[in-house]
Amino acid sequence: MSQKAETIQKDSAYSVPVAARPEFVLARGEGVTLYDTDGKAYTDWVAGIAVNALGYGDAELKAAVSAQMDTGLLHVSGLYHTQAMPELAQLLCDNSFADKAYFCNSGAEAIEGALKFARKRAYVNGDVNKTKVVSFSEGFHGRTMGALAITPKEKYQQPFKPMVPGAIVGEFNNVESAKEVIDADTVAVVVEPIQGEGGIHVATAEFLAALRQLCDAHGAALIFDEIQCGLGRTGDLWAHSFAGVSPDIMALAKPLAGGLPVGAILTSDAIASAMSPGDHGSTFSGGAVVMRAAKVVVNRVLSDGFLEHVAEVGEYLMERLSELNSPHITDVRGRGLMAGIELKIPPASVVNAGYEHGLLLVSSGSNVIRFVPPLIIGKAEVDELIDKLTAILEGIDDDS
Ligand SMILES: *Cc1c(COP(=O)(O)O)cnc(C)c1O
């Protein structure tokens, strides 16, 4: 049996079957290209689900991780000081609305922590009934029980009911709906400034501003989930910047450590000051290797010309996607390097054809192909994508 066949067979024999993977095995990456064990190249429009912001094989990222490994110190837990964690916290606070940061290990964990922070502030204030959490249609906040409860998708929730109580769903981008669901019992309002998993839906500035006003009026914490859309992906550092409003808490994760697992909760002093030692924690929180990697990523995103590059290539991508002019496409939307095309045909047909053409693509929602590549991708790769998508879409019949 070939090594590739052996890997695929072992996966099916021993892995809990929660994922359907294509029939190749990825072995290495360079820049924005991944190679499988047969040496076939794939231009990566997925980036490990909007994670690998600096692509593959970034020299500085590699040096930072190796240097930390060389100290022998990978993990000491949150019981002790290490250097990089407060440096990263300062870097994120200096460049956002936030006064304080907390680090964890994933997006879902950042959302869970954010909900606890909001709950703790209400508790300290003696607001015992303030426990409702508002989220919005098509939103996605993670798979753990608290995050799942505010991810209003029947397919994800149904087998795991009962859900954590208190979750209320409003309609995304509908101010009237938000007014109906946010009230004095609302402890937190959670929203993605651009919905990723739900199908690349961009929040309007009016909607985000209305949420800010409603949260202020009712003493609720406004939580922006920028786990997918934040940290440079839109061409702004933060996806909410364009709207001119700030949250009380922001959750980050996916791209933050360039591919290592991490999550972050950024927050105001008003909320952070309600938290005391022992209120929250995680064994792996703020690990030295991950923090050093994240510093490289954040500094790079902040470096001269980086965000301009994302904005420029993002605009070019939107422009070229809009020109595709295929009868299968019903909408093109997004911002920066977070784009989606809505299709009349099953996205899986396009994703699967992409593999044959040496493209990694991923769907989102029920009928969207989303493009969330490494942020270092260039116009040449956009041209390649458009040529290949044109061929793929022409090769698919209407009734497929
Ligand atoms: C991926 C994602 C999450 C969950 O992150 P995990 O690291 O998979 O737990 C939460 N919110 C948004 C917007 C995401 O894209």
Each residue's pLDDT expressed in tens, for the chain with a length of 400 residues: 899 999 999 999 999 999 999 999 999 999 999 999 999 999 999 999 999 999 999 999 999 999 999 999 999 999 999 999 999 999 999 999 999 999 999 999 999 999 999 999 999 999 999 999 999 999 999 999 999 999 999 999 999 999 999 999 999 999 999 999 999 999 999 999 999 999 999 999 999 999 999 999 999 999 999 999 999 999 999 999 999 999 999 999 999 999 999 999 999 999 999 999 999 999 999 999 999 999 999 999 999 999 999 999 999 999 999 999 999 999 999 999 999 999 999 999 999 999 999 999 999 999 999 999 999 999 999 999 999 999 999 999 865 5
Judge contact between 118 and 188, C-beta under 8 A: yes
Mutate to test the pocket of ligand 1, among 228, 252, 364 (most ligand atoms within 8 A of CB): 228
Q: Does residue 66 lie in a domain region? A: no
Q: Which of 261, 287, 302 is the last residue of a domain?
A: 302
Q: Does residue 257 lie in a domain region? A: yes
Q: How many Å from the N-terminal Cα to the C-terminal Cα in the chain?
A: 34
117 and 96 in a common domain: yes
152 and 176 in a common domain: yes
Work out how many domains the chain is built from and give that number: 2
Q: What angle do CA 329, 334, 339 make, to 5 degrees?
A: 65
- Ligand 1 center to 49 CA (angstroms): 9
192 and 110 in a common domain: yes
Q: Which of 302, 321, 352 is the last residue of a domain?
A: 302
Judge contact between 204 and 231, C-beta under 8 A: no
Q: Does residue 63 lie in a domain region? A: no
**3-class secondary structure for the chain?**
CCHHHHHHHHHHHHCCCCCCCCCCCEEEEEECEEEECCCCEEEECCHHHHCCCCCECCHHHHHHHHHHHHCCCCCCCCCCCCCHHHHHHHHHHHCCCCCEEEEECCHHHHHHHHHHHHHHHHHHCCCCCCCEEEEECCCCCCCCHHHHHCCCCHHHHHHHCCCCCCEEEECCCCHHHHHHHCCCCEEEEEECCEECCCCCEECCHHHHHHHHHHHHHHCCEEEEECCCCCCCCCCCCCCCHHHCCCCCEEEECCCCCECECCEEEEECHHHHCCCCCCCCCCCCCCCHHHHHHHHHHHHHHHCCCHHHHHHHHHHHHHHHHHCCCCCCEEEEEEECCEEEEEECCCHHHHHHHHHHCCEECEEECCCEEEECCCCCCCHHHHHHHHHHHHHHHHCCCCCC
Mutate to test the pocket of ligand 1, among 141, 224, 284, 364 (most ligand atoms within 8 A of CB): 141
pTM of the model: 0.98
* Closest atom, ligand 1, to C-alpha of 263: 7
Structure tokens at 133: 């959490």
- Ligand 1 center to 201 CA (angstroms): 16
Q: Which residue owns the Cα nearest ligand 1 atom 10?
A: 141
318 and 266 in a common domain: no
* Closest atom, ligand 1, to C-alpha of 50: 15
Can you tell me which residue has the tokens 């993605």? Answer: 192
239 and 208 in a common domain: yes
Structure tokens at 89: 């916290």
- Ligand 1 center to 67 CA (angstroms): 29
* Closest atom, ligand 1, to C-alpha of 49: 1
* Closest atom, ligand 1, to C-alpha of 109: 9
* Closest atom, ligand 1, to C-alpha of 254: 7
249 and 101 in a common domain: yes
Domain that holds residue 196: 73-302
91 and 47 in a common domain: no
Q: Provide the pLDDT for residue 399.
A: 57
25 and 105 in a common domain: no
Burial 342-352 (b: 16+ CB within 10 A, else e): bbebebebbbe
CATH of the domain at 335: 3.90.1150.10
The conformational region for residue 75 under phi > 0 = left, psi -120 to 50 = alpha, else beta, is beta
* Closest atom, ligand 1, to C-alpha of 111: 10
Structure tokens at 108: 């879902």
* Closest atom, ligand 1, to C-alpha of 261: 7
Q: Which of 302, 331, 349 is the last residue of a domain?
A: 302
Judge contact between 392 and 222, C-beta under 8 A: no
Name every protein residue with a CB atom under 6 angstroms from any ligand 1 atom: 106-108, 111, 140-142, 192, 196-197, 225, 227-228, 253-254
Q: Does residue 67 lie in a domain region? A: no
Q: Does residue 62 lie in a domain region? A: no
**Contact partners, residue 136, CB within 8 Å, separation at least 6:** 152, 169, 170, 171, 172, 191
Q: Provide the pLDDT for residue 113.
A: 98
Mutate to test the pocket of ligand 1, among 144, 202, 227 (most ligand atoms within 8 A of CB): 227
Mutate to test the pocket of ligand 1, among 254, 265, 370 (most ligand atoms within 8 A of CB): 254
207 and 175 in a common domain: yes
Q: Does residue 323 lie in a domain region? A: yes
CATH of the domain at 124: 3.40.640.10
- Ligand 1 center to 142 CA (angstroms): 5
List the one residue out of 311, 337, 293, 371 whose CA is nearest residue 58.
293
294 and 162 in a common domain: yes
Structure tokens at 166: 């208190």
- Ligand 1 center to 189 CA (angstroms): 17
- Neighbour tally for 275: CB within 10 Å: 18
Can you tell me which residue has the tokens 């101010």? Answer: 175
Judge contact between 93 and 237, C-beta under 8 A: no
- Ligand 1 center to 222 CA (angstroms): 18
* CA–CA separation, 99 and 101 (whole Å): 7
325 and 313 in a common domain: yes
Q: Provide the pLDDT for residue 398.
A: 65
Q: Does residue 64 lie in a domain region? A: no
Q: Does residue 399 lie in a domain region? A: no
**Contact partners, residue 387, CB within 8 Å, separation at least 6:** none
Can you tell me which residue has the tokens 């996205």? Answer: 347
Q: Provide the pLDDT for residue 208.
A: 98
96 and 32 in a common domain: no
